[in-house]
A and B are shown apart, each in its own frame.
Chain A
Amino acid sequence: MLKKISTLLLGLSAGLSLSAQSPTDGLMMPQGQLCILGQYTNSQWENYWQGETKRSNSNLGKVSTQSAMVMGNYGITSNLNVMLGLPYVWTGSTQSYITGQKGLQDLSLFLKYQILERKALGGAFKIQTTGGLSTPVSNYTNDLMPFSIGLQSKTASLRGIVNYTADFGLYVTAEVGHTWRSNVTVDRDSYLFNNELVESDEMLVPNVLDYSARIGYIKSRFQAEVWYDAFTGLTGDDIRYNEAPQATNKMAAGQVGVFAKYFITKRFAPLASVSQVLSGRNAGESLTWAAGFTYFLDVNKKAEAAK
C-alpha cells in the first residue's frame, strides 16, 4: 500500500520531497506486489528564517522548487518492502537574476521491515523500522543556495514507526528517524563556518533528526490523512546576515499537511497533498502541494501467468 510523501529533508533550497512514498508511514505492501508512484511537487516560499529571524528578501521574491519523481515500492515479503525513488528537480525565483538550476537529484533506497503486528483493541498494532540510503546521481552544484537542487550529501537513515489501525479504518502513526549525512565538497575553497574562516573545499553537513505524527482514515477505496512532521539539523551554523545559505547551516522546519487518495480502479489511484511550514530555522516558509498517482502491479501473478 502506498501513501503520500513526507517532506523530510526540506532545506531552504528545496521544500524537496526527498524521501520516498512511505518510509515513514505505517503501511506495508503485500508480498509480490509492486506499486509505482509518479508525482509532481511544487514548493514555494517568500519568507524564510535567517537563523531564527523570519524575513523576506526583495532580491529573491518568491523562490520555487519543483520536482517530478518516480518511485517504486515492492513487497519482497509482506513484512519486508523495498523502495527506490529518483526525483528530477528544478528551481527558480520571481526576482533573482541568478540562473535557476535543474537536474536529476538523489537516488534513494529504503528497506522497510515490519517487526511486529498484534491484533488488539478492535484493530492492529504494528511496529516497523525503515533503513535508507541515498546518493546523488548527477554533478549538480550544491553551493548556489537557494537555487541548488540538493546538497550532494550521501545519506543513511534509520527510523522507527508505530502504527495503530482500527478495524473501522481510523489510524494513527508516530515515527522518528535519524539521518546521517556525509560532508560535501563545494566549488569554493574558503568559507565562514561559525564566523571562522575555513580554507578548504570540504563542508560539514549536519546530521538530521526527524519525527512525524499522522492521523487518518483508510477504508476500501479511500484514504485521507492529516499530519505534522518536523526535522532539525543536529549541529551547524546559521545563515549569515543578508547572505546565502550553505550546506553547513543548521536547518529545521515543522509543517502540517493533508493528504488524500482515491482508487478509481483496483490498480490506479490519483493522490494529492498540501502542506505548510509553520516554524523553521534557516529554512523557507514553504507552501507545498503535490499531485500524482499510484499504480499497482501484481508481479507474482504475472510471473505465474507467464508460466
Chain B
Amino acid sequence: MKKQSILAIGAAFGLLLFATQCDKNAPEAPSIEPYPETNLEASAGTWKTYMSIDDSKTVVPTPEAAGSSAYQAELTQLKSTMAGATAEQKELALFWGSNGVTRWHEIARELAANYNVPPNYNADGTYPAPDPANPTAYPRFPFANPPVASRMFALLGVAQYDALVACWKRKFEHNRLAPYKNASDIQPLIPTNDLPSYPSEDAVVAAASREILKFIFPGEVSYINDKAEEHKNSRLWAGANVQSDLSAGDSLGRIVAQYVINEWAKKDKMGQANNQAAYPNLKADANARGISVLWTSRDIPSRPPMLPFFGNVKTWNFDDATKIALRPPVPPQPGSAEFEAAMDELRDIAKNRTREQQRITAYWADGAGSYTPPGHWNRKACELILEKQFNEIRSARAMALVGTAVVDAGITCWDVKYYYLLPRPTEMDPDVTTGTGIPNFPAYTSGHSTFSGAAVEVLSYLFPDHKSELEAMAKEASESRIYGCIHYRFDCEVGLEVGKKVGEYAVTRGRNDGSE
C-alpha cells in the first residue's frame, strides 16, 4: 500500500511538473523576413516633401565609376567584410534587411515607452520637471507623454521621408548598381533588386532616424549611435552596399534631418508647451467665455496640467486658422440635463463594468510606461506596411502621413481641452471609479478618440482593404475611454469626428504628393 501510494504520488507530480514546464523567457517578436523590392519608384525623387529642402543642400559627391580601381577596392573590402561576418552579424543583416524604416519606429516606440514616466511628487508636494540640460538625471528628459510621443513619431517619419526623397533623386542621377550587380561573386544575404545603391537608402534612414531620436532623447545618444552603426554595417554584412554608398547616405540623411530639426522642431513652439506660469490665463479666458466649472488635477498632490500650451504647437497639414475652425462647439456643462445623462451612463458602468469592458479599457489604455496611443497607431501602421511589403520610401511616406496626422490630432485636441477645461467625470462624482488611470488634463475632447480618428483616416487611405477593421479599432479605442469612465460619451464621439477631419488633411497631402 505504502509503495503504491508513493508511486502514484510520484507519477502525479511527474505529470504536473511536465504540464507546467513553461518558458521563462519573454515572448520573442515574430521574425520578419526581408522581402524583394518589387517597385523601384524611379520618380520618387520628385515627390513632394514636407520641408522642401533646397536641392543644393542635398548634393552628394559623384561616385567612383564601377570600373574604377577605387570602386573595385571597395568591392574587395566588401567581400572580405562579408567573409568575416559572424553568425550574429548575419542575423542582423536580415533583421535590418526587412525594413529599416519600421525598425527605427520600433526603436522609437521602445524609447517612448521607457520615457513615458510621469514624475513622482516631491516631499513638499511639488513635482520635479525633466531637465533637457540634464536628461539622464531623474526625472529623465523627456517625459514621453502622448503629445511628446506623437510629435516625435511625426518628426521621425518626416525626416525619414524627406531624406529618402532626396536619396531617390540622387540614386537615379548616379545610377550606381548594387555591389552584387557589379561583382558576380558577391552573394547577398537579402533579396536582390535593380535599385541604384548610391546613396544607400538604409544609411539615409539610419542617419535621419539617429539625428531625430538623439534630438528627442538626448540621454540616449550612445545607444542610438550604436543602433545607427549597426544598421549601416548590416548592409555590408548583407552584401548590399559598399562603404561609399553608406557614407553618402549617412551624410544625406544627417543633413535632411538636421534641417527638419532646425527649421521645424526648434521653431514649432514645443518649447513653450509646458508654460505653467501662463496656465491661469487659460482659466481666466474660459471663465470670461462663461465656463464656470473648470478641470482640476485628480493626482494627489495636485499635479500641474500636462502641456497646457501644446495646442499652440505648429501643425503639419493645416494652418492655425484651420485648427481654430476645427474646434468643436462648447460641450454640455455640468448641471445641464445632457451632462447628467452622460454622467448616468458612467455611474452605471462604474458600478457594473463587465470583464469585456475592462479588457477593452486596458487594451487601449496605453498609459504610463507604454508607447502611448500615438505609439499604438504607429505600430499598427508598421504592421500594415510589412504586410503589404512596402519598400523604404513608401514606408517612410506612410509613416510621415500617419505621424503628422496623429500629432496634428494631438495639437488640435489639446487646443480644445484647454479652451473648454471640462472636468473629468470622477471630479463631478467620486462614485465614478475608473478602470484605468485618469490622465492629468481636461476631458473634452478625448485624446484617444482624436488620435484614433486621424490615424485611421490616413491608414484607411493607405490600406483600403483594411478600412472596416481599422474603423472598428478606432471606435473601440474611442469607446474604451467611456468603459474606463475617464471620458463622457460626447468627449469620445466629438473627438473621433474631429480626428477624422484632421486625418483628411493628411490624406489630401498624400493624394497630391506625386506618388500616386
Residues of A within 8 A of B (CB): 58-59, 77, 79-80, 95, 97-100, 111, 113, 115, 129, 131, 133, 139-141, 143-144, 154-156, 158, 180-183, 186-200, 202, 204, 206-207, 235, 240-244, 248
Q: Contact: B300 with A95, CB < 8 Å?
A: yes
Contact A202 B27, beta carbon cutoff 8 Å: yes
Q: Are A139 and B355 touching (Cβ within 8 A)? A: yes
A interface SS class: loop
Residues from chain B with a CB closer than 8 A to the CB of A241 are: 117, 120, 138
Contact A187 B362 (CB under 8 A): yes
Given A180-B20, A190-B379, answer yes or no on A79-B369 (Cβ-Cβ < 8 Å).
no
Is B22 among interface residues, defined by CB-CB distance under 8 A? Answer: yes
Docked-complex contact A97 and B20, CB < 8 angstroms: no
A-B contact count (CB 8 A): 137
Q: Does B2 contact A (CB under 8 A)?
A: yes
Determine whether the beta carbon of B20 is less than 8 Å from that of A156: yes
Closest A residue to B368 by CB, please name it.
Answer: A243
Report yes or no: B368 in contact with A188, Cβ–Cβ below 8 A.
Answer: no
Residue of B nearest to A50 (CB): B120
Name A131's contact: one of B16, B114, B355, B363 (CB within 8 Å).
B16
Instruction: Kindly state the separation between the CA atoms of A98 and B138 in the bound complex, as whole angstroms.
Output: 27
- Taking CB atoms, residues of chain B closer than 8 Å to A140 are 355
26 contacts between A and B (CB under 8 A): A59-B300, A77-B5, A79-B5, A97-B298, A97-B426, A97-B438, A100-B433, A111-B9, A129-B9, A139-B355, A156-B17, A180-B21, A182-B20, A182-B22, A187-B361, A188-B370, A190-B376, A192-B114, A192-B369, A196-B26, A196-B110, A197-B110, A199-B379, A200-B27, A235-B24, A240-B369
Given A98-B434, A113-B6, A193-B26, A242-B371 contact (CB < 8 Å): no
- Determine how close the nearest CB of chain B comes to the CB of A217; give it in whole angstroms: 30
Cross-interface CB contact of A58 among B25, B114, B301, cutoff 8 Å:
B301
Cβ contact within 8 Å between B371 and A58: no
Question: Is B114 in contact with A141, judged by CB distance below 8 angstroms?
Answer: no
Residue A204 contacts which of B25, B362, B369, B371 (CB distance < 8 angstroms)?
B25
B355 and A242 within 8 A (CB): no
Instruction: Give Cα A206 to B110, complex, Å.
Output: 23
Per-residue A-contact encoding for B338-365, CB less than 8 Å = 1, 0 else: 0000000000001001010011011101
B24 touches A192 (CB 8 A): no
With a cutoff of 8 Å between Cβ atoms, the chain B residues found around residue A192 in the complex are 113-114, 369
Contact: A242 with B12, CB < 8 Å?
Answer: no
B236: min CB distance to chain A, Å: 26
| A63, chain B: closest CB distance, angstroms | 14
Chain B, interface size category, equals 35 or more
Chain A residues with CB below 8 A from B433, complex form: 97-100
> Complex formed: what's the CA distance from A7 to B359 in Å?
29
Q: Quick check: B17 and A158 within 8 Å, CB to CB?
A: yes
Cβ-neighbour of A97 out of B113, B120, B121, B430 (below 8 A): B430
- In the docked arrangement, what's the CA distance between A256 and B369, Å? 34
**Contact (Cβ within 8 A) A141 B27:** no
The residues of B that contact A133 with a CB separation of less than 8 Å are 16
Residue B29 interfacial (CB < 8 Å): yes
Query: Once the chains are docked, how many angstroms separate the CA of A146 from the CA of B361?
Result: 17
Task: Write the B1-16 contact mask toward A (1 if CB under 8 angstroms, else 0).
Answer: 1100110010011001
Contact indicator A58/B121 (Cβ below 8 Å):
yes
Question: Chain B binding site: helix, strand, loop or mixed by DSSP?
Answer: loop
Q: B12 contacts which chain A residues (CB < 8 A)? A: 111, 131
B369 touches which one: A59, A139, A235, A243 (CB < 8 A)?
A: A243
Closest to A241 in B: B117
Query: Of the candidates A97, A131, A194, A243, which one forms a contact with B117 in the assembled complex, judged by CB atoms under 8 Å apart?
Result: A243
Q: How far is the CB of B432 from chain A (nearest CB, A)?
A: 8
The residue in chain B whose Cβ has the minimal distance to the Cβ of A99 is B433
Beyond A111-B9, A186-B362, A187-B358, 14 additional pairs, beta carbon < 8 A: A59-B299, A79-B5, A97-B426, A98-B433, A115-B6, A141-B355, A155-B20, A156-B19, A187-B361, A190-B370, A194-B26, A197-B110, A204-B25, A206-B24
Task: Provide the bound-state CA to CA distance between A154 and B20, in Å.
Answer: 8
Interface contact A197-B109, CB-CB below 8 Å: yes
Residues of A within 8 A of B29 (CB): 198-200
A73 to B125, CA, bound (A): 52
Query: Could you tell me the distance between the alpha carbons of A17 and B17 in the complex, rounded to whole angstroms?
Result: 23
The answer to whether B359 touches A183 (Cβ under 8 A) is no
Roughly how many angstroms separate A275 CA and B161 CA in the complex, as a whole number? 61
Cβ of B435 within 8 Å of any chain A Cβ, yes or no, is yes
Q: Which of A186, A197, A198, A200 gathers most chain B CB within 10 Å?
A: A197
| Given known contacts A141-B355, A188-B363, A191-B370, A99 and B435 CB-to-CB distance under 8 angstroms | yes
Least Cβ–Cβ distance between A299 and chain B, in angstroms: 19
Across-interface contacts of A195 in B (CB, < 8 A): 114
Q: Is the CB of B110 within 8 A of A131?
A: no
Please name the residue on chain B nearest to A95 by beta carbon. Answer: B300
The CA of A77 and the CA of B433, in the complex, are separated in Å by 51
- The answer to whether B118 has its CB under 8 Å from any CB of chain A is yes
Q: Smallest distance from the beta carbon of B509 to chain A beta carbons, Å?
A: 29
Once the chains are docked, how many angstroms separate the CA of A202 from the CA of B17? 21
3 closest A-B pairs by CB: A187-B362, A197-B110, A99-B433
Q: How far is the CB of B367 from chain A (nearest CB, A)?
A: 9
CA distance A193 to B110 in the complex (A): 11
Q: How far is the CB of B258 from chain A (nearest CB, A)?
A: 27
Please name all residues of chain B whose beta carbon is closer than 8 Å to the beta carbon of A98 when the two chains form the complex. 433-437
- A141 near B368: Cβ-Cβ < 8 Å: no
Residue in A115, A188, A207 whose Cβ sees the most chain B Cβ within 10 Å = A188
Name the A residues within 8 Å of B1 (CB-CB).
77
**How far apart are A138's CB and chain B's nearest CB, in angstroms?**
9
A139 to B356, CA, bound (A): 10
Report which of A131, A180, A189 forms a contact with B22, defined as CB distance below 8 A.
Answer: A180
Task: Provide the residues of chain A in CB contact with B271, threshold 8 Å.
Answer: none
Contacts of B350 in A (CB 8 A): 99
B358 touches A141 (CB 8 A): yes
Inter-chain contacts of B118 with A (CB < 8 A): 242
Query: In the complex, what distance in Å separates the CA atom of A243 from the CA atom of B379?
Result: 23
**What residues of chain B lie closer than 8 Å to A80, measured between beta carbons?**
5, 9
Q: Are A156 and B430 in contact (CB under 8 A)?
A: no
